[in-house]
Amino acid sequence: MIRSYNLPSQPISFKLFLLILLATMAGMPNFLNCLIRPFTSSSFLSITPASASSVSIPETAQKFTIAAGCFWGVESMYRKEFDGKGVYDWRVGYTGGDTANPDYKTVYSGRTAHAEALQIHYDPARISYRQLITYFYRMHDPTTLNSQGPDIGTHYRSAIFYHNEEQEKEAREITKQVNEKWWKGAVVTEILKAGQWWDAEAYHQKYSDNNPGSYECPSHFVRKFPDLDN
């Protein structure tokens, strides 16, 4: 059945047109934020980096540090996967470069050589480094050099920053396996010794949780790959 409508005989007034246009645009920001990483003036605020976490971290805890594109999404995905499973603390920040005391604006400019990164303190008795690294290769695309989805630049590169020889060995072994079995020899992930870490500004911490509907990198999702050999 075709439904008919009685259209107005008079053209819509300019004021009414503006009201309709404004109402339509009001709903656009949330949609656009999911597709495009916003760079408003607040994103470039030069403020004092976040202070060290107040969470009590035992001496037996180990560090896990990686870069996989926009750190908002990386932190959010790791929280969803591992929260309550042996992680003491989560921080996003900057590492891998040669500039001291970097801030978001200078890292984004590409002049610091730093990457946007995630650092986790975890309990090795409850969660393994292998689990964290394997998830790393499922949740992002490690085959795109200096980019992740639409985000382009060395600060969006794929990298593993190991904290001891055991982590380095395991990172290289797992990378070799996923390169052959999952990513068809195309992995470009850097494996580097962890250097100085700087916390990102406070507004970047838990950004996705604090800003529902915010930007999500389209290459950040969990791939359904077969399990690796132990």
- Chain mean pLDDT for the chain: 85
In tens, the pLDDT along 184-211 reads 999 999 999 999 999 999 999 999 999 9
The answer to whether 228 and 135 are in contact (CB under 8 A) is no
3-state helix, strand, coil in the chain (%, to 5): 35, 20, 45
Instruction: Kindly provide the b/e burial profile for residues 61-86, where b requires at least 16 CB atoms within 10 angstroms of the residue's own CB.
Output: bbbbbbbbbbbbbbbbbbbeebeeeb
Residues in the chain, how many? 230
Instruction: State the catalytic residue, choosing from 66, 68, 70, 132.
Output: 70
Task: For residue 217, indicate whether it is catalytic.
Answer: no
In tens, the pLDDT along 144-180 reads 999 999 999 999 999 999 999 999 999 999 999 999 9
Task: State pTM to two decimals.
Answer: 0.79
Torsion of Cα atoms, 228 then 140 then 162 then 187, to 10°: 70
pLDDT of residue 16 exceeding 60? no
pLDDT of residue 32: 44
List domains and CATH numbers for the chain: 58-210 (3.30.1060.10)
Torsion of Cα atoms, 154 then 158 then 161 then 165, to 10°: -130
pLDDT of residue 26 exceeding 80? no
